[in-house]
Amino acid sequence: MPAMIDPQPHWIGGREVAGEATETIPVFNPATGEVLAMTPLGGAAEVEQAVAAAHAAFPAWRATPVGDRIQPLFRLKALLETHFEDLARQVTCEHGKTLAEARGSVRRGIQMVESACAMPVLMQGLASEDIASGIDCQTIRRPLGVCAAIAPFNFPAMVPMWFWPFALAAGNTFVLKPSERVPLTAMRIAELLAEAGLPPGVFNIVHGGKAAADALLVHPDIRAVSFVGSTPVASHVYTTAAAAGKRVQALGGAKNFMVVLPDAALEQAASVALESIIGCAGERCLAGSLVVSVGDRTAAEIRRMMTERARRVRVGNGLDPATDMGPLISPAARRRVENLIAGALEQGAELVLDGRYPAAPMDSCFLAPTVLAGITAEMTIAQEEVFGPVVLLAQAQTLDEAIAWINRCPLANTTTLFTSHGAAARRFCHEVAPTMIGINIGVPAPLSYYSFGGSRRSFFGDLRAHGREGAMFYTESVVTITRWLKSGSIW
């Protein structure tokens, strides 16, 4: 391990701060193995320092008119555009996804900043005159205080920006714990926020693992916590933070079913479904997972088309323009996916295309697309989030059977139907459990001005991320009932 690489500083009170932690983990480029940085595994001491800075900055930031609070975000938007290409390359280097995918994720992040600039409208209240004789009533939305987010590794720029732009525009201060695997993009954005004129202490970053996350969940000065990650951790975040009296939105894992009806445009369905599954090497909560074809002919055609396309996917360094799919985040992630594939074969799945590399070194992060057919509901791989480029092919005889399968799954994030039949599409939307639904769309990802989040064990909380619900999450409603009595000579 290169000893000359100093640990990443935290970002506290508007500047870089060295923490107390001595333990670090390497941040490396998954495509090349190059060590890019060392992440300090901060804990309660660093969290305390960051929360104290955010707590001290809150009164002045809350008192800043909302029209003035969004001005640094307007300036940040311009800076993000200026540094767009550098940010995208940074995402690719520390995560591994292709440069095109990184650009798309940074663009989505910028859209979050744009939508947060609408906060003067998003946090407007309501008023009624004469709810009783001479009595008026109004509601206003106020910021909560110090808010925090615990972000995953798969979208170093975009996912944190689901949260903090809306929180800041609403008048809150913020502590972000980025994934310890991908801290560099978040730190660069913190620098740009300072350049945009955000006051010190309004936005802070603490690096670390579980100890830092757990310290955020129970800190008495934190009012709200946002999280994205696996379902077991999302459940822990929700129960721990809620028990500590905090507002929580915890987005968990996914098992995103894609149903293909016989009347669908099959070539388009196969192409879109494959991109959904292998995009970002499958490391996204919106990744397609299990393709359920309705009818024998549909299943045979989808199998042929998707296998042909999967075989042509070029795997490599995400910075190479010829690459279609980059590596997974780590060798451990690759081994986890390979174990799921092996388990599926033991349980009776058919190996149609093997993307594993038998001669690959232990430290390799690369895994090519794999196609498994004959998937049944009882198989482990049909129930767990794969988070890798594995195409799971299953078959149903009717739309009823497909919908029933979807609705038995405890993970209900997104689902998609491919069809040209309007009545079937309407029924699908009406009956399926997931709360993000696509029709002839591979990745039904809501834009920044709509809310994002699944249901059942894919989401823990009441108010989802970004959009109008995001603005509601970061504010509380205050009701004022007023009666003015006649008095004095003015009358």
The residues that bridge with 439 in the sheet, in sequence order, are 417
**Amino acid identity, position 246:** K
Between CA 273 and CA 287 the distance in angstroms is 9
Q: Which residues are bridge partners to 12 per DSSP?
A: 15
Q: Which residues pair with 135 in a beta bridge?
A: 132, 483
Residue in 263, 446, 195, 482 with CA at minimum distance from that of residue 438: 446
Instruction: Decide: helix, strand or coil at residue 432.
Output: coil
Owner of token pair 């129930």: 383
Residues 6+ apart with CB under 8 A from 411: 231, 252, 253, 254, 255, 385, 454, 456, 457, 458
Collapse the DSSP code of 207 into the 3-class scheme (helix H, G, I; strand E, B; otherwise coil) and give the result.
coil
> What DSSP letter does each residue of 287-329 carry, written as one string?
-EEEEEEESHHHHHHHHHHHHHHHHTPPBS-TTSTT-SB---S
Out of 117, 147, 280, 285, which one is annotated catalytic?
285
Q: Is 285 marked active-site?
A: yes
- Token representation of residue 439: 């029709």
Catalytic residue positions, numbered: 285
